[in-house]
Amino acid sequence: MFENKTPDALREEILKNTGAEVSTIEGSFASDMAAPIALELSKVYGEIDRALTVMFVDGAEGDYLDSRAGEYGLERKAGTMAAGEVTFSGTDGTVIPTGTVVMTEDGLRYTTDEAAEIENGTAEAQITAIEVGAAYNVPAEQVVRLYRNLQGADEVINQAPIIGGTDTETDEALRARLLVRMRTPATSGNVYHYMNWALEVNGVGAAKVTPLWDGPGTVRVLVVGNNHEPVDATVVQECSAHIAEQRPIGADVTVLSAAAEQITVAAEVELGNTMLEDVQAAFEEAISKYLRSIAFKEYTVSYNRIAYLLMGLEGVLDYSNLLVNNDTVTVQIGADSVPVLAEVVLSAAD
């Protein structure tokens, strides 16, 4: 709004209004005094511009966005720590202390929640990630190392997946949730009320509410994660419990995770001065962003949109043999599903 209030422009305005009897030529006293004043004034205009931006939800970030959300009773979701169980193997009688650190091969660390003693060669212990984040959700047999050697404990492994970790809510996600709260009249247990209740739960990034889905008094809530992917059982249980605390008496509510509709993409590309792996990474990100944008909103994945995204990438001159789910047509998505990118395979054209 005040882009024209640059130091040079402000200096010119100051000198123009100094008066004809005062010398304003370069190097004069008036000229030298006007320069620092203009510089400081330009900073003030910059702050005014910034203030005008953060006054509105679309431009607010960080603490400013938290303050706007607080006006509507919303708080940024702090994220949760992943948790699970590991099995230690070793010498009978060995005590595994509380706080023992175990980790994956790529360095994700967890601590034991309780002490355990090896009997008959093994001991089980509950573990929790050292910090919040979905990155700590790992499949079975990934937690396989001790951070420090422990005499008598030879091996450690998680027999089941480690689940329940969610990321701290991003500005983008909080802004979207705030706009839903502002723009949808949630009242008396209507559809928007259930949507808002679901979105208050850590790990829920979007929700689809179906009233009367199994007869009078029934409500179904489909949820997906922060990246609009299916969620694990922990998130579903927490969402169900939270809604149960808020819902009108007598409502029969079922909370489920949406299913994943796997999307695969393959193509041959003609490249300019660009590495194939860089193009592939950019293509994967572009497709993922597109798929997230249509979750619960559109139920087709457009073949032509995928082609448009590919041609829009820097360094891509042309493409051929583009296949989406091994075909050249739009992909239909089930009403209870969301599209999830499974694989992208690009190869250089001959």
Identify the pLDDT of residue 163. Answer: 93
Percent of the chain with pLDDT over 90: 74
DSSP letters of 237-295? HHHHHHHHHHSPTT-EEEEEEPEEEEEEEEEEEEESSS-HHHHHHHHHHHHHHHHHHHT
In the predicted structure, residue 23 carries a pLDDT above the cut 70: no
Percent of the chain with pLDDT over 70: 94
- In DSSP terms, which residues pair with 206 in a beta bridge? 224
Identify the pLDDT of residue 1. Answer: 66
Distance CA 80, CA 29 (A): 62
The pLDDT of 284-290, averaged and rounded, is 96
**Which DSSP state fits 94?**
-
> What does each C-alpha distance from 155 to 87, 88, 122 come to in angstroms?
8, 6, 9
> What does each C-alpha distance from 277 to 134, 264, 271, 321, 346 come to in angstroms?
25, 17, 11, 18, 9
Helix (H), strand (E) at residue 235? helix 233-246
Confidence of residue 32 (pLDDT cuts 50, 70, 90): low
Question: Rounded to two decimals, what is the model's pTM?
Answer: 0.73
pLDDT digits (tens, 9 = 90+) for 220-245: 999 999 999 999 898 999 999 999 99
Distance CA 161, CA 289 (A): 27
Residues 110 and 101 sit within 8 Å (Cβ to Cβ):
yes
**Where does 57-100 show beta strands of DSSP type E?**
83-90, 95-96
Average pLDDT over the chain, rounded to an integer: 91
The pLDDT of 288-313, averaged and rounded, is 95
Identify the pLDDT of residue 350. Answer: 72
Identify the pLDDT of residue 3. Answer: 67
Identify the pLDDT of residue 19. Answer: 66
Identify the pLDDT of residue 184. Answer: 86
